[in-house]
Amino acid sequence: MATNNNNQGATGGIPAGQRQMLISKTWMQAAILVFLFGFFVLGYLAYRTYSDQPPIPQKTVDPQGKTIFTYDDVIGGQGVFLRNGLMEYGSIFGHGAYLGPDYTADYLRRSGEIVLAFYDGPNSDTGGISTVRDFKTNRYDPANGILQYSNAQAAAYAQLRDYYHKFFSEPTTRFGLRPGAITDTNDTRMLTAYFSWSAWVASALRPGKDYTFTNNWPPEPLVDNRPTAETIVWSVLSLITLLGGIGLLLGAFGRWDFLGWHGRDQQALMFTPPDRVILTQAQKTTAYYFLVMALLFLVQSLLGGSIQHYRTELSNFFGINLAVLLPFNLARTWHLQLAIFWVATSYLAAGIFISPIIARSEPRNQHWLAYALLIALITVVAGSLAGEYAGIHGFIGKLWIWFGNQGFEYLDLGRFWQILLSLGLFFWVVMLFRALKPRLTQESRGNMPWMFFFAALAVPAFYAVGLLAHPRASYVTSDYWRWWVVHLWVEDFLELFTTVIVAYIFVLMGVVRERVALTLIYLDFIIYSAGGVIGTMHHMYFSGTPAVHMALGAVFSAGEVMPLTLLTVEAWSFLQLGGIRVAKTDTPFPHRWAVLFLVAV
């Protein structure tokens, strides 16, 4: 490791014996303000998601008043869709896997063709106009919760109910699903109701607007779904934001030295050879974590190969009918869940390994807690994967939500396993606090030890938000919370933890000064929060949310590229540091390959 002396300065307002913040408090204040602003906007967008979501009719009827399907049919169909892992086969509202069709677009196209034929086909002078009118006219009555389909739409539903039953009850594996995936006629009836409702959402005009609930997605000429003016305007503005933001960032990087970039090579450091570093008991346990991580990564890679092969041959894997044993939707479910598991395992190990180095000590029996956490993690991995297999095959009945698979892409595991994983992550944070406590009491809350702890705390906090997504709730609201996990957790706060831990490793190795690393952490956090938090909405352009989600998501998500650009520039400069350090000290730089690996990250 490296020894690095930092000037302490005045300690006004700092408890005796506590090190003051190494950089200006303005950085911390700016980070807090940007963070609060981002989540204030997300709170407003959550309110708009709930208040402006497309309704699920209590009853959908034909012009004669005959019931076609009900609210319970739509929610039940969503359950069938999720329970059978169909979001990991096809997609709904554009989200999911892409081996099978997007069932919103598929139903809309097929029903559009049937309705057009009902009105004497494409050669009719009025057929196309009548088809567009049937789909675009919003005949939902909020006073009684009844949606009225036209006779043509009702006929389309009846035909497609038979079509989807035949498709999902197919006795072979030619579609990549297991034989007879869904044979119950009531299940396929509800599933068709779910698809029909989603197609209505994508084609009926939002009240008071000239575009649909999904901003005219999918682009379907049969129902006159075309890009809206808002879509074009905000797409152009997002591109301007992206190019302008990167230009300003690179200009600041080259022009000013407020981060200490241009003077980082002026400090001579001394290094401790790696073979002289004594590992603690808890640090030694991380070897098992990395072994588990490697095994999970290996299995995930093999599953990735199998699901890619499905795109070449649906029912033949080098002479084996793989879909009988491992249908595509199960393979992709496991593939995505294993990605989350091996990444989480790596983060747990990194935190356990780094915390005693930061604290310069380790509490008693910390290694036993690390072993217990590892056993719990293995239990969650094995239990959830087995539950997903049982849930997709229908072996656990009504318990599928809790112990099987919830079916949301990236949140496939049952709620019981999801809760256990969340508790395990919080337990990990308690372990880190236990290890870091002696050091935290000596540091200002704006310094790197606290930043390390706060970044670790964000990992379980934002994963647990996924519990707000529920298979029996409206897809629109559930998808809003699902993206908090997929985007905020994976793309923002795991990146933040990566930034903090990599910066800390560079400081510990003597590659960069602590003050520079801390400034970089704050800068990245501010840019992450400014773009990535509100930018979460770029996933919800056509999920049934109002246009404001698209507008804010498009502009702010363009800023997400900026911290990655900054890290790329930083990585280039880090590549030069090993040679500089060797030239300025008699001690050889021992961490060249570690630096190259971290730069690659």
| 88 and 409 Cβ atoms separated by less than 8 Å | yes
What's the token pair of residue 337?
Answer: 């869940």
What's the rounded Cα separation, in Å, for the pair 465 and 473? Answer: 15
C-alpha to C-alpha distances, 77 to 38, 54, 190, 203, nearest whole angstrom: 35, 17, 4, 19
C-alpha to C-alpha distances, 118 to 106, 122, 147, 485, nearest whole angstrom: 18, 10, 20, 44
What letter does residue 138 receive in the DSSP assignment?
-
Q: Around Cβ 375, how many Cβ atoms within 10 Å?
A: 11
Same domain, 271 and 318: yes
Same domain, 339 and 261: yes
Q: Indicate whether 16 belongs to any domain.
A: no
**Torsion angles phi and psi, residue 419, rounded to 5:** -65, -45
Q: Where are the alpha helices (DSSP H) in 151-280?
A: 151-168, 185-203, 229-255
| 269 and 588 Cβ atoms separated by less than 8 Å | no
What's the rounded Cα separation, in Å, for the pair 412 and 404? Answer: 9
Nearest to 466 by CA among 406, 517, 424, 523: 406
| 531 and 560 Cβ atoms separated by less than 8 Å | yes
Same domain, 145 and 203: yes
Same domain, 208 and 63: yes
What letter does residue 311 receive in the DSSP assignment?
T
Residue 315 pLDDT: 81
Domain that holds residue 217: 59-227
Nearest to 287 by CA among 350, 202, 205, 224: 350
Residue 274 pLDDT: 65
Q: Indicate whether 54 belongs to any domain.
A: no
**Torsion angles phi and psi, residue 413, rounded to 5:** -65, 150
What's the rounded Cα separation, in Å, for the pair 50 and 220? Answer: 27
Domain containing residue 110: CATH number:
1.10.760
How many domains does the chain fold into?
2
* Amino acid in position 93: F
Domain-terminating residue out of 227, 255, 279: 227
Residue 6 pLDDT: 43
How would you label 73-97 residue by residue, b for 16+ Cβ within 10 Å and e otherwise? bbbbbbbbbbbbbbbbbbbbbbbbb
Same domain, 256 and 182: no
What's the rounded Cα separation, in Å, for the pair 138 and 204? Answer: 5
Could you give the dihedral angle defined by the CA atoms of residues 474, 480, 482 and 487, in that order, rounded to the nearest 10 degrees? 160
Same domain, 121 and 245: no
Same domain, 150 and 291: no
Residues 233-281 pLDDT 10s: 998 998 898 888 888 777 776 676 555 544 444 455 555 666 677 899 9
Q: Indicate whether 18 belongs to any domain.
A: no
Q: Is the link from the previous residue into 218 a cis peptide, with omega within 30 of 0?
A: yes
Could you tell me where the beta strands, DSSP code E, fall in 371-435? 405-408, 411-413
What's the rounded Cα separation, in Å, for the pair 471 and 481? Answer: 12
Q: Indicate whether 371 belongs to any domain.
A: yes
Residue segments in the chain with a per-residue pLDDT below the cut of 50: 1-12, 261-266, 578-583
Q: Indicate whether 12 belongs to any domain.
A: no
| 28 and 446 Cβ atoms separated by less than 8 Å | yes
What's the rounded Cα separation, in Å, for the pair 458 and 434? Answer: 17
Q: Indicate whether 19 belongs to any domain.
A: no
How would you label 443-458 residue by residue, b for 16+ Cβ within 10 Å and e otherwise? bbebbbbbbbbebbbb
Domain containing residue 302: CATH number:
1.20.210.10
Same domain, 141 and 188: yes
Domain-terminating residue out of 227, 246, 264: 227
Domain-terminating residue out of 192, 227, 262: 227
| 94 and 216 Cβ atoms separated by less than 8 Å | no
Residues 508-528 pLDDT 10s: 776 678 888 898 889 888 888
Output the CA torsion sign for 438, 439, 444, 445: negative
Residue 316 pLDDT: 83
Same domain, 302 and 407: yes
Average pLDDT, the chain: 88
| 591 and 509 Cβ atoms separated by less than 8 Å | yes
Nearest to 492 by CA among 450, 535, 446, 449: 535
Strand partners, 271: 2
Same domain, 287 and 338: yes
Residue 5 pLDDT: 42
What's the rounded Cα separation, in Å, for the pair 220 and 235? Answer: 20
Same domain, 187 and 242: no
Same domain, 208 and 82: yes
What's the rounded Cα separation, in Å, for the pair 217 and 406? Answer: 26
What's the token pair of residue 511?
Answer: 């590659």
The number of residues making up the chain comes to 601
Residue 172 pLDDT: 93
Q: Indicate whether 10 belongs to any domain.
A: no
Q: Indicate whether 8 belongs to any domain.
A: no
What's the rounded Cα separation, in Å, for the pair 288 and 354? Answer: 16
Q: What DSSP assignment string belongs to 252-289?
A: HHHH--TT-GGGGGG----B--GGGPPPPHHHHHHHHH
Could you give the dihedral angle defined by the CA atoms of residues 234, 475, 199 and 70, in that order, rounded to the nearest 10 degrees? -150
Residue 506 pLDDT: 78
